[in-house]
Amino acid sequence: MRLLTIILNYRTADMTVRSVQAALGAMHGLDGEITVVDNDSGDGSFETIQARLAAADWAQERMIRVIQSGRNGGFGAGNNVGIRAGLSDGTKPDYVYILNSDAFPQPDAIRKLIAHLDSHPEAGFAGSYIYGDDDEPHMTQFRFPCALGELEGAARTGPISRLLKNHAMPIPIPQETCRVDWLAGASMLMRQSVLDDIGLFDETFFLYFEETDLSLRALRAGHETHFVRDSEVMHIGSVSTGMRQWTRIPVYWLDSRWHYYTKNHGRAYAVWATTLRLLGEGIWQVRRILQRKAAAGPDHFSRDLIAHHLKALFRPLPGRPRIPRATQPMKVE
């Protein structure tokens, strides 16, 4: 099996080089190449990465290409550049492995993902167990977004969460390999044949919801997404996006959320999901005031959500595809 590892860089040159080195260690004994895509950083990252890799003895053991995207179209578009480039001989790989520039796989992490897909033909995508530089696990396993899940997540209230537990989008971190709806794309192995079947990332998404949409399209075509517990990857997180420092919700997150719902569920459902989200936010605000809890989330979230979606209602609406039923995490033997 031939493997193409893609690492997307946006103004994280030093960390990207570290990620390449970790990926090389995890690719030992595998037939594959690495492509670093610089997503139009504009800060000298492209030249820095090229120079650092050319000077590093450890980087000479296999083919590593550094290419430019030509524009910063976001996470999906940048990875698509690498996927379309294929292998250096012009052929396609059997597997595509996408790895964040701030993620560092354990030596056997990629091999475990490959072995899993080799033995589970029903799975199109496989993702790793992600943990932080403090060794704390990251929640990267989710159900598909839905209206009741929006209510549960926004309300942050025990009775509502217990009532809607099967609709909550985050899934408690599994202790064993299992099937899930979708996984965050920090470390994900994908069959090239599945990408040929369903297409690449939807480049309408700049950031967020692109992996969700891709997994949903895969499921419609009969390809599952699996979480592989014994494939472990350390991930710092939010280095390029700055998500941890958000004071206001970015427009691109709101754009992505609206596009996901209207594309996959229709405009009426998108409005319903937003209505329940706002209801949940209202419940949380009442609880916060009564119990004197600290504010949670970016400032003016509800106001920004309403203003954005009122404008979005006048945008053209894509066709509505079939919607598969959300799955529960299911152990994979």
Tens-place pLDDT, residues 102-138: 999 999 999 999 999 999 999 999 999 999 999 999 9
Q: What is the DSSP string of 78-117?
A: HHHHHHHH-STTSPPPSEEEEEETTEEE-TTHHHHHHHHH
Q: Which residues pair with 33 in a beta bridge?
A: 4
Contacts of 289 (CB under 8 A, 6+ apart): none
Please name the amino acid found at residue 10. Answer: Y
pLDDT grade, residue 164 (50/70/90)?
very high
Q: What residue segments make up the domains of the chain, in order of their start?
A: 2-137+173-241, 251-319
Position 222 confidence tier, pLDDT thresholds 50, 70, 90? very high
pLDDT of residue 324: 47
pLDDT attached to residue 1: 85
Distances (CA, A) of 313 to 55, 258, 281, 302: 52, 9, 21, 16
Q: Distance between CA 187 and CA 112 in Å, rounded?
A: 12
- What pLDDT, on the 0 to 100 scale, is given for residue 322? 46
Confidence bin at 293 (pLDDT 50/70/90):
confident
* pLDDT reported for residue 109: 98
CB within 8 Å of 63: residues ≥ 6 apart = 33, 34, 88
What is the Cα–Cα distance from 84 to 77, expressed in whole angstroms? 10
Provide CB contacts within 8 A for 254, sequence distance 6+: 304, 305, 308, 309
Q: For residue range 57-99, list pLDDT tens digits in order.
A: 999 989 999 999 999 999 999 999 999 999 999 999 999 999 9
Q: State which CATH number among 3.30.420.240, 3.40.50.720, 3.90.550.10, 3.30.565.10 fits the domain covering 2-137+173-241.
A: 3.90.550.10
Q: Write the DSSP symbol of residue 319.
A: P
Nearest to 23 by CA among 129, 103, 84: 103
* Angle at alpha carbon of residue 234, lines to 73 and 78, rounded to 5°: 10
CA distance 235 to 269: 34
Q: What is the pLDDT of residues 1-58, one digit of tens each?
A: 899 999 999 999 999 999 999 999 999 999 999 999 999 999 999 999 999 999 999 9
Q: Give pLDDT, residue 248.
A: 85
